[in-house]
Structure 1
Amino acid sequence: MVLIVDDRPENILPLKKILELHKFAVDTAESGEEALKKILKTNYSVIILDVQMPGMDGFEVATAITGFSRSKDTSIIFLSAVNTEKKFITKGYTSGGVDYLTKPVDPDILVLKVKTLHRLYEQQQELRATQDSLRKEIEVRKQAQEELSSRMQELRLVLASLPQMAFTVTTDGTIEYVNEHWFNYSINSKAFPLTHDDDLDTCQEWPSYLEKGIEFTREMRLKEIATGDYRHHLLRITPIKQQDALVRWVGTFTDIHAQKLAAETLEEQVATRTKELLLKNTELETTNHELQQFTWVVSHDLKEPLRKIQLLHDLIKERYLNGNPEAISYLDRSIRSSARLSKLIDDLLAYSQLARPAMFKPTDLKALLDEILVDFEDTINKKSAVITIDTLPVIDTIPGRIRQVFQNLISNALKFTRTNVAPIITIRAELVAEKELDSERCENGNFCRIVVSDNGIGFDEKFLDRIFVIFQRLNNRTSYEGTGIGLAIAKKNIDRHSGLISARSKIDEGTQFILILPTQQLGEPATN
């Protein structure tokens, strides 16, 4: 901004208009006193000052202005129509003016001078701002250097207290500081510890990490000077950065010799144990195969005399015991016991064969259930059972295994019925999102939830964990026939499908068996 000081408004107005035409901001004052008040509040780049004014003349005003620190970069141009002598011009320069013009003033010359002085003022302000910035930067760097020196001292104290070998490295890779443990493996502070020949490649890798400014971690063997033995160490060199600039590296050698020896011993023991387990596993597979064959042979050999016993009992009953109800009663008990034994052998054989390998394939559950119901047709008709099967999906299963599951569930629903109450069995399915019993229904879910419901005798849910355990029965044998193996077979088969099986029930209110099965099997059947 430019300040025009003149006691006559008619002199101020034309100068102000000329300067405003050249894009200068202009302020005015009609006395020296008014000018000094404005200078105390506002920074001006150029002051155009009339010499001849009442009260304080221009020279006195200029002398006062030069005493103000905030106006030390302001240029003063004197204007005078009367005082044109050399002594006045000299007084103008000595009182702080940079130019002395006599009236009438050439406007173009005045504008050029004001432009030049205004530009000089702006340059001085920029230079001063740069100087202030540099001064602050120097102060900040000085404080940072002092702080860095303090931190470096703290770092050295910490490194000196460590039980490991510790050192610092400059940005060009020169070792800067080492603690006392260093000298157990090195002859001086500048020499790298003696390294095993097989680990020299590790030392050659370090420069590339130095160049990239990233952490370097390696295991290596160092030669202990006192014993001459090589000991395993973990080397870790970490970059230390300040404001994203690398300032140094801090490294440590941690003695891991004992751990390394222990790990090597453990690896040898694991390798030995693995070989033993592989051998035992082979023997176990062979034994298991032989056991399956033995089970089948024994089952077959046991069933053959049982069939003969049952046949002979029937012949004796028909031919020789007519009219002897007591003998018939005893013989019927024997026949029923033989039948139970035969059923137990069949179930045991089925349970033992669950470990055999089998492949998954897409299975139409509705078609499979229709086939199963044909097998139960006589029982269904005899008990007037009502069986409802909703739409069931096609999913990946082992058909023979999943058939056993549904056979057991439907058989139980037809068996454990209430007196004089016709069985009502419902089988429904839906896709769900998660492998959880209460998962939300999802049209594109990866799991299928199948619910088999009946209106039978039910059971107390506190015994839920027992019903899937082999030979566990919740009802006495005299009321309901069975071997206690069926649900154990179902559980084992569902496990083979990587699924879930559970039940919900109340006494005399029926039972719901809930199955969760993957719709697609990605691998081999699970082993159990």
Structure 2
Amino acid sequence: MILIVDDRPENILPLKKILELHSFSVDSAESGEEALKKVLKTNYAVIILDVQMPGMDGFEVANAIAGFSKAKDTCIIFLSAVNTEKKFITKGYTSGGVDYLTKPVDPDILVLKVKTLHRLYQQQQELRETQKSLQKEIEVRKQAQEEIAGRMEELQSVLASLPQMAFTVAADGRIEYVNEHWFRYSTEPATFPETHPHDDICDEWKTYFANGIELTRELRLKELATGDYRYHLLRILPIKQHGITVRWVGTFTDIHPQKMAAELLEKKVESRTKELLVKNIELERSNHELQQFTWVVSHDLKEPLRKIQILNDLIKERYLAGNSEAISYLDRSINSSARMSSLINDLLLYSQLSTPAQFQPTNLNELLNEILSDFDDVITKKKAVITVDPLPVIDTIPGRIRQVFQNLISNALKFSKKDIPPVINIRAELIEEKEIDSPPSIHGEFCRIVVSDNGIGFDEKFMDRIFVIFQRLIGRTSYEGTGIGLAIAKKNMDKHHGIISAKSQVNEGSHFILILPVHQVNELEDSVQ
């Protein structure tokens, strides 16, 4: 803005119009006192100041304005029609004016001078703002440097207190700082400790340094006092600011005792593994011999039993006709022989469960159809109703999974309520996890099979007993059996890496739940992999 100071309004008006025509904002004052008040409130680029005015003349006003820090960049043009002598012009310049014009003034010359001085004022203001910005940036940088220096001191204090060797590396790759532990392995702070010939990391470090990424690896350092190489874990981390690596912080952690202990443990494990292999071979031989012994013993036991049964039947038919009491005793003997024969068969079957066998894809519907045909007579006799939903093809050991279903169906038929036909349902679905209550999933890796019946059931507090060999919840007088069937089923499910469980209530039937993997890996294939 331009300020025109003149005690005569007729002098102000033409100057104001001329300057406004050239797009200047113009203010005016009709006395020196009024001009000073305005200068205190408003920043002016140029002041056109009349020399002769009543009260304060132009020179006095200029001297007063020079004392205002706010107006130190303001340019003053003196304008006079009377004081045209050299001494007045000189006084004008010494009073703080930058130009002295005499009237009549050429309007064009005046406008050019005002434009020049206005542009100079703007440049001075821009320069002042630039200086303020630079000063602020200098202060910020100085503060940042002080903060960095403080952090470096703090970092070095932390590194000095560490039990490990610690160091920092500048962005140019120069080692900046090392703590006292460094000198156990190096005589100079700028010299890297000597590594084992097989653990040289120079080329590797260059790659990590160039890419600004963390380096972690084990290596051996030569201890100066002993000359021995000790295992250390080296870790060097980049410290970044605004995505730029400004330095690196590294540590060497002595892991020699752990490394020695690990090597000793590996040797012990290797030795123990060899011992276990020998023991496994001996165990396999013992198992084979035990199976042969079981087979021979069972065969030798079954042969006299067969003879006892045959002889008892002959005595009953030929010599005890009409003797009901003797026949009753003999029937007990025959039944006991039959139970003992069944027990020997089940024991032989149970002992053979540890024999290795191969998994293969098995159509469970076909397998169940074969099993149900074996139970045809019992099903017809008891008028049983059996429904089998579509079952999937999964990997099993067919002979052993057959035993599981045979035992479950046999028990469902055997432990039925008197005078009530057995109702048995077998259904299956794929599930997500190897859990009894896992949710169904069409892409599940496990199959849940449920065998339900409407039989006599059992109290679930005895759940932990029903899969244990020779454990019976029902007396032998009411229902026949050896107490081995569910134990065989449990062992077969374990062989299939599966689960067998049950839910039941007394007189409310039972639900036996099988969880089987859809796909299996044979032991031979697993060992090769």
8 Å contact from structure 1 (residues 12, 28) kept in 2: no
8 Å contact from structure 2 (residues 359, 395) kept in 1: no
Offset at residue 2 of structure 1 (A): 5.5
Is 1:523 the counterpart of 2:521? The answer is yes
Offset at residue 461 of structure 1 (A): 1.0
Segments of structure 1 that go 5 or more residues without pairing to the other structure are: none
Larger mean CA deviation between 218-227 and 322-331 belongs to 218-227
Q: Secondary structure at the match of 1:421?
A: coil
Is 1:14 the counterpart of 2:17? The answer is yes
Work out the CA distance in 2 between the residues paired with 1:324 and 1:338.
21
Larger mean CA deviation between 477-486 and 177-186 belongs to 177-186
Check 1:324–1:181 CA distance in 2 against 1; reply closer, same or farther (3 A cut): same
Q: How does 1:174-213 map to 2 (within 5 A)?
A: 174-199=174-199, 201-202=200-201, 205-213=204-212
Q: Secondary structure at the match of 1:458?
A: coil
Offset at residue 224 of structure 1 (A): 3.6
Q: How does 1:104-115 map to 2 (within 5 A)?
A: none
Q: Secondary structure at the match of 1:28?
A: strand
Check 1:243–1:375 CA distance in 2 against 1; reply closer, same or farther (3 A cut): same
Check 1:328–1:213 CA distance in 2 against 1; reply closer, same or farther (3 A cut): same
Aligned to 1:231: 230
Aligned to 2:439: 440
Work out the CA distance in 1 between the residues paired with 2:320 and 2:257.
87
Q: How does 1:155-166 map to 2 (within 5 A)?
A: 155-166=155-166
Q: Secondary structure at the match of 1:412?
A: helix
Aligned to 1:275: 274
Check 1:165–1:382 CA distance in 2 against 1; reply closer, same or farther (3 A cut): same
Segments of structure 2 that go 5 or more residues without pairing to the other structure are: none
Check 1:211–1:320 CA distance in 2 against 1; reply closer, same or farther (3 A cut): same
Offset at residue 485 of structure 1 (A): 2.0
Aligned to 2:265: 266
Aligned to 2:483: 484
Work out the CA distance in 2 between the residues paired with 1:42 and 1:500.
93
Q: Secondary structure at the match of 2:421?
A: coil
Check 1:508–1:83 CA distance in 2 against 1; reply closer, same or farther (3 A cut): farther
Residue correspondences, number: 519
Aligned to 2:422: 423
Check 1:501–1:127 CA distance in 2 against 1; reply closer, same or farther (3 A cut): farther
Q: Secondary structure at the match of 2:201?
A: helix
Work out the CA distance in 1 between the residues paired with 2:418 and 2:105.
131
Aligned to 1:381: 380
Aligned to 1:336: 335
Q: How does 1:464-479 map to 2 (within 5 A)?
A: 464-479=463-478
Check 1:184–1:428 CA distance in 2 against 1; reply closer, same or farther (3 A cut): closer
Q: CA RMSD in A?
A: 3.7
Aligned to 2:371: 372
Q: Secondary structure at the match of 2:314?
A: helix
Q: Secondary structure at the match of 1:381?
A: helix
Aligned to 2:312: 313
Query: What is the one-letter code of the residue matched to 1:70?
Result: K
8 Å contact from structure 2 (residues 359, 521) kept in 1: no
Is 1:510 the counterpart of 2:513? The answer is no
Work out the CA distance in 2 between the residues paired with 1:34 and 1:260.
92
8 Å contact from structure 2 (residues 46, 114) kept in 1: no
Larger mean CA deviation between 71-80 and 476-485 belongs to 71-80
Q: TM-score, normalised by structure 2?
A: 0.83
Aligned to 2:143: 143
What's the CA shift string for 1:142-182, capped at 9, x where partnerless? Answer: 33444444444444444444444444444444444444444
Check 1:86–1:283 CA distance in 2 against 1; reply closer, same or farther (3 A cut): farther
Query: What is the one-letter code of the residue matched to 2:316?
Result: K
What's the CA shift string for 1:298-335, capped at 9, x where partnerless? Answer: 44444344333323322222222212222222222222
Work out the CA distance in 1 between the residues paired with 2:316 and 2:243.
101
Work out the CA distance in 2 between the residues paired with 1:362 and 1:33.
114
Larger mean CA deviation between 27-36 and 311-320 belongs to 27-36
Offset at residue 487 of structure 1 (A): 1.7
Aligned to 2:323: 324
Work out the CA distance in 2 between the residues paired with 1:205 and 1:263.
26
Aligned to 1:285: 284
8 Å contact from structure 2 (residues 396, 520) kept in 1: no
Offset at residue 274 of structure 1 (A): 1.5
